[in-house]
Amino acid sequence: MRAEIAYDCDVLVIGGGIVGLSTAYALTRAAPGTRVTVLEKEQGPARHQTGRNSGVIHSGIYYRPGSLKARYAVRGAAETVEFCAEYGIAHAVTGKLIVATGREELPRLHALVQRGRENGIPVRELGPAQIQEYEPEVRGLAAIHVGTTGICDFTAMARQLAEASKAEIRYGARVVRVDRRPELGVAVRTGHGDVVRARVLVNCAGLYCDEVARLTGDEPRVRIVPFRGEYYELARPELVRGLVYPVPDPAFPFLGVHLTRGIDGGVHIGPNAVPALAREGYGWGVVRPRELAGTLGWPGSWHIARRHWRYGAGELRRSVSKKAFTRAVRRLLPGVREEDLVPAPAGVRAQAVLRDGTLVDDFLIQEGARAVHVLNAPSPAATASLPIGREVARRALAVLRSVR
pLDDT at residue 256 in the model: 83
Sign of CA dihedral 7, 8, 14, 18: positive
DSSP string, 165-192: H--EEEES--EEEEEEETTTEEEEEETT
What is the reported pLDDT for 198? 98
Instruction: Tell me how far apart the alpha carbons of residues 36 and 44 are, in angstroms, rounded to a whole number.
Output: 17
Q: Which CATH number fits domain 9-49+156-222+362-403: 3.40.720.10, 3.50.50.60, 3.40.50.300, 3.40.50.1000?
A: 3.50.50.60
Integer Cα distance of 388 and 397 in angstroms:
14
Where does the chain hold its CATH 3.50.50.60 domain(s)?
Answer: 9-49+156-222+362-403
Q: Do residues 57 and 151 touch, judged by C-beta distance below 8 A?
A: yes
Count Cβ atoms below 10 Å from residue 174 Cβ, excluding itself: 14
Q: How far is the C-alpha of 368 from the C-alpha of 381, rounded, in Å?
A: 22
CATH 3.30.9 residue ranges for the chain: 225-359
CATH number for domain 225-359, candidates 3.30.310, 3.30.460, 3.20.20, 3.30.9: 3.30.9
Judged on CB neighbours under 10 Å (0-12, 13-18, 19+), 378 is: buried
Give the torsion through C-alpha atoms of 102, 108, 114, 117, to 10 deg.
-80
Query: Mean pLDDT of residues grouped by 10 in the chain (404 residues)?
Result: 76 98 98 97 97 95 96 98 98 97 96 96 96 97 97 98 96 98 94 97 98 97 97 97 92 81 95 96 97 97 92 91 95 97 97 96 96 96 98 98 89
**What is residue 2's predicted lDDT score, i.e. its pLDDT?**
47
Q: What's the confidence (pLDDT) of residue 1?
A: 34
pLDDT at 400: 97
Q: DSSP labels for 281-307? A: --STT---HHHHHHHHTSHHHHHHHHH
